[in-house]
Structure 1
């Protein structure tokens, strides 16, 4: 569900989880996306120029072939740049990273190669007839600020918040379990997506209503017991259990000291 906002500015996109917990993402407006595109276009242009300069001697003998090859090289570099970085950096290019933007699925989870490929391969259509006019009009008319490539891939572009890495998550009385190597090793076997969901719940729990908070951690606590193949200690609530697992995934105190001031992106919502 998307809140109506001026497409030139940031809007919002709400995701309702199966546990009926709602997460809100800030949509990137056209202004910030245009700036990110400008940075990426400059990088692609420099890359293409470097390649063509390297081929300059060979192209001098085939002047009629040079212009056609230049166009092919541009599209290959442009597609390769967008698809590769958005896949490796989970929805970011250099321009998006500088502007704190990220491409995610409409469901709120990170994108993969399939989504990055679809939205980037559709760029030539979005660029028509010039300067992304088709894509811009599409985003203006779309409630989620989506160009045609985003609609095809089922993606949105959001502005991500930067949160400080917490030194603890409020479970100081459980050092014994945190010192259990079996517990810690099983916690660290969680997949990247499972960690995203866990940290998202931990960092955003105070934003939820009490009812939504209880539902979310009840489902998350049961899921963690299955994944870790361990029963939750009877004296711990579902929320404390989830926070304990999240704490086991945090850097050690010495590592936190070396990385003081480091920041983390908010994980995608489940």
Structure 2
């Protein structure tokens, strides 16, 4: 597939942080989103069927009520499935996880219940008149590939990047600090979001322009001194300091860590 066709299918979404650091996201194309929806739809159909079998057995003597109830059950399972999983899995359902897709806010941060509920409650409109025709056309003409539900909730669907964490991040010569139990213990107490930001910045620093790279690591260096309650050694640059924190977070050699597709906030502006 040519780069041009990739751009037409996927596209990009850029977020500019208050520190003027750019994070770029690869937008999910219509084809991959359709496959994810198809898998989720099959799960919902089978789940609804299982629930209805039980209800029909219970409501065998009230066929009219069972018929009306089946419609209610379908929508409850359909909405409940998507809203619950996208809230619990930070913007993913089974279909999206299989296709390496994720729903995030336009600002680049993860979604919550409010966003998941809004984008999924709008699905009946997006489905009109059949097979998401309204939603599909809206996504095709939208700059960020948003269906109506996404526009309402302020969300986008992006491709996740899976990166292998290297065994080292250019921290040679600073093994003494990495061997300091106090430093390592405080680093391990960083929140999940803070860890994602540090590791994502460390692994993607080569993708940034020099000015943006300096601004990002300056903000990260200052913030890490605050959250770790430690002063950065005078001989270390902000980038080197951040890389040491990232190195302390690395898993054992040979393992892999899944990193967000630039969905994290700049830590200083979080």
TM-score using structure 1 length: 0.91
2-structure distance, mates of 1:39, 1:130: 17
The aligned residue for residue 97 of structure 1 is 97
Partner of 2:170: 170
Shift of 1:32: 0.9
Alignment check: 8 A CA contact 1:16 1:23 kept: yes
Q: CA RMSD in A?
A: 1.9
Instruction: Tell me the equivalent position of 2:268.
Output: none
User: What's the TM-score, normalizing by structure 2?
Assistant: 0.91
Assess if the C-alpha contact under 8 Å between 2:85 and 2:91 holds in 1.
Answer: yes
Is the aligned partner of 1:264 residue 2:255? no
Cα displacement string for residues 227-260 of structure 1 (whole angstroms, at most 9, x for unaligned residues): 1111101111000101111111122x3xx34x3x
Which residue of structure 2 lines up, in the alignment, with residue 33 of structure 1?
33
Uncovered stretches (5+) of structure 2, i.e. residues with no partner: 266-270
Distance 1:7 1:242, change over 3 A: closer
Runs of 4+ in structure 1 deviating by more than 3 angstroms, as ranges, are 4-8
CA separation in 1, counterparts of 2:116 and 2:232? 39
Q: Structure 1 pair 146/6, CA: closer, same or farther in 2 (3 Å)? A: farther
Is the counterpart of residue 223 in structure 1 residue 223 in structure 2?
A: yes
Gaps of 5+ in 1: none
Superposition map of 1:3-42 within 5 A: 9-42=9-42
Partner Cα separation in structure 1 for residue 7 and residue 75 of structure 2: 28
SS of 1:161's partner is coil
Whole-angstrom CA distance in 2 between matches of 1:168 and 1:6: 32
The 8 Å contact of residues 163 and 263 in structure 1, kept in 2 or not, is answered as yes
Cα separation, partners in 2 of 1:50 and 1:249, compared to 1, 3 Å: same
Distance 1:6 1:136, change over 3 A: farther
1:200 is aligned to 2:194: no
> Could you say which residue in structure 2 is the equivalent of 1:118?
118
Deviations 1:92-114 (A, max 9, x none): 11111111111111111111222
| Paired residues, number | 261
Q: Distance in 2 between matches of 1:110 and 1:99?
A: 18
Q: CA deviation at 1:88?
A: 1.7
Question: Aligned equivalents of 2:241 and 2:77: distance in 1?
Answer: 47
Deviation at 1:141, TM superposition (A): 2.2
